[in-house]
Amino acid sequence: MASSAERAAIVVAATMGVIFAAHPAAAYTVYISNEKGNSITVLDSVTLEVKETIPVGQRPRGIILTNDDKYLLICASDEDAVQMLDVTSRELVGDLPSGPDPELLDLHPSGSPVYIANEDDNLLTVIDLADKKVVAEVEVGVEPEGVGASPDGKTVVVTSETTNMAHFIDTGSYEITDNVLVGSRPRFAEFTADGSRLWVTSEVAGVVTVIDAKTRKIIKTIGFAIPGVQPEHIQPVGVRITKDGAKAFVALGPANRVAVIDAKTLDVEEYLLVGQRVWQLAFTPDEALLFVTNGNSNDVSVIDVPNLKVVKSIPVGTAPWGVTVSQH
């Protein structure tokens, strides 16, 4: 008789076989920022192996690829800069004038400008990627962190951790049009692909707030309860929603779980056990896999999205934080 570990291995192998059979050509590159390792780990989405580790600036956290997949923009928080990594040559080719302590960033859907939250300075800095110049600085609440651009590019939302608000900013006038109070320490903002809703995670309150993007009213505040986990350990951080708007995945920090939520009914469906202190997550473009950074166990968990199974954990650098996946 097979032991439970062996059975698990068989299940994993079978599951992965299904994935690869279904997506034979889908080889994407996955980038992980290692907050304490001061490096970027590069993974292959098919072999699920580390291809390379690239040293970068100090305390890299939020990362994003330019729309052409050529450059990785890295918030090097302790360098007070957003560094540009040429992913072909693997070399840092310059800094964006991001302002102090950049933490998270997002791109306008057209690829530029880039919106950067300056946690230490209560600012959103807007930078044009073509000439690398600051287009605008928008004064927001205390400790801005999460940044999310709407799919139509007309709105960018910034969450401020001490002010506890989601600030809606008009990308034409750079004026704040609405402020929505959410739970304590909002960390991340993500629009649904159709632009109808905004999801905001609140780390200290332990909730996710879903906001109607048009009326700017709260639709629902989603709470979490996991048997055997103290409520104060449930600290939502990253959130990703499938393009069809069916499922949302929320990283729950030291609860060591990713919550799976029906993004239409807004009910929590299940909790997937991952590594320790789970921060951020990113889909492959085909949404077959979800990569999840575990800050305290120095690894990345790989979730099989259709089957909602954690299929692998990959050791990376020290304190993995941000994650992004190439589009091609």
Partner 1 sequence: MTSLFLLFAPLPGRAATEGGDEATRLPPAGEFATVPIGYLKQEVKRFIPLSRLNVEPEDLGIAGAEIALKDNNTTGRFTKQQFTLEVERVPAGGDAVQALETLVESGHHFVLVDAPAETLLRLSDAVKGKDVLLFNIRAPDVSLRQEDCRANVLHTAPDRAMLADALAQYLVWKKWPRWFVVKGVFPEDLAYLDALRRAAKRFGGTIVEEREYKETPGARRSDSGQLQIQRQMPVFTQGAPSYDVVVVADEKEVFGPYLPYRTWDPRPVAGTAGLTAMSWHPAHEQWGATQMQNRFQRFAKRFMLPLDYQAWVAVRAVGESASRAGSDFAPINAYLRGDEFGLAAFKGQKVTFRTWDGQLRQPIIVAGPDLPVSMSPQEGFLHERAEVDTLGIDEPESKCKFQ
Among 44, 170, 286, 287, binds partner 1 (CB under 8 A): 170
Strands 197-202 and 114-118: unpaired
Q: Distance between CA 145 and CA 159 in Å, rounded?
A: 6
Nearest to 102 by CA among 72, 129, 63, 54: 63
180 binding partner 1? (CB under 8 A):
yes
Compare residues 217 and 328 and give the one whose CB is closer to partner 1. Answer: 217
276 binding partner 1? (CB under 8 A):
no
Compare residues 144 and 284 and give the one whose CB is closer to partner 1. Answer: 144
214 binding partner 1? (CB under 8 A):
no
Compare residues 201 and 284 and give the one whose CB is closer to partner 1. Answer: 201
176 binding partner 1? (CB under 8 A):
yes
Nearest to 211 by CA among 235, 238, 192: 192
Which residue type occupies 180?
Answer: V
213 binding partner 1? (CB under 8 A):
no
Closest CB 245 distance from partner 1, rounded Å: 21
Among 6, 86, 139, 269, binds partner 1 (CB under 8 A): 139
Whether omega for the bond prior to residue 113 falls within 30 degrees of 0, making it cis, is: yes
Interior angle at CA 243, CA 327 and CA 19, nearest 5: 65
Judged by CB under 8 A, the chain residues 216 through 255 that form the site for partner 1 are 216-218, 230-232, 235, 254
Which residues 6+ apart lie within 8 Å of 131 measured at CB? none
79 binding partner 1? (CB under 8 A):
no
63 binding partner 1? (CB under 8 A):
no
Contacts 24+ apart (CB under 8 A), 124-133: 124/156, 124/158, 124/167, 124/169, 125/97, 125/98, 125/99, 126/174, 127/82, 127/96, 127/97, 127/98, 129/66, 129/96, 132/94, 132/96, 132/97, 133/97
85 binding partner 1? (CB under 8 A):
no
**Cα-Cα-Cα-Cα dihedral sign, residues 249, 110, 72, 165:** negative
Which residue stretch of 32-40, 136-144, 237-245, 258-266 sits at the interface with partner 1 (rule: CB under 8 A)? 136-144
Nearest to 213 by CA among 283, 151, 165: 151
Q: Distance between CA 96 and CA 262 in Å, rounded?
A: 38
Which residues 6+ apart lie within 8 Å of 50 measured at CB? 41, 42, 43, 314, 315, 316
Among 35, 79, 106, 161, binds partner 1 (CB under 8 A): 161
Q: Compute how many residues bind partner 1; rule: CB under 8 A.
A: 47
Which residue stretch of 13-21, 26-34, 204-212, 236-244 sits at the interface with partner 1 (rule: CB under 8 A)? 204-212
Closest CB 130 distance from partner 1, rounded Å: 22
Compare residues 31 and 321 and give the one whose CB is closer to partner 1. Answer: 321
Compare residues 230 and 265 and give the one whose CB is closer to partner 1. Answer: 230
Closest CB 203 distance from partner 1, rounded Å: 8
196 binding partner 1? (CB under 8 A):
no
Q: Could you tell me the two tokens for 159?
A: 């969450």
Compare residues 151 and 254 and give the one whose CB is closer to partner 1. Answer: 254
Closest CB 65 distance from partner 1, rounded Å: 26
Q: Could you tell me the two tokens for 180?
A: 């929505």
Q: Distance between CA 180 and CA 166 in Å, rounded?
A: 5
26 binding partner 1? (CB under 8 A):
no
Residues that bind partner 1 (CB under 8 A): 99, 101, 119-123, 136-139, 141-143, 160-165, 167, 170, 173-181, 183-185, 203-205, 211, 215-218, 230-232, 235, 254
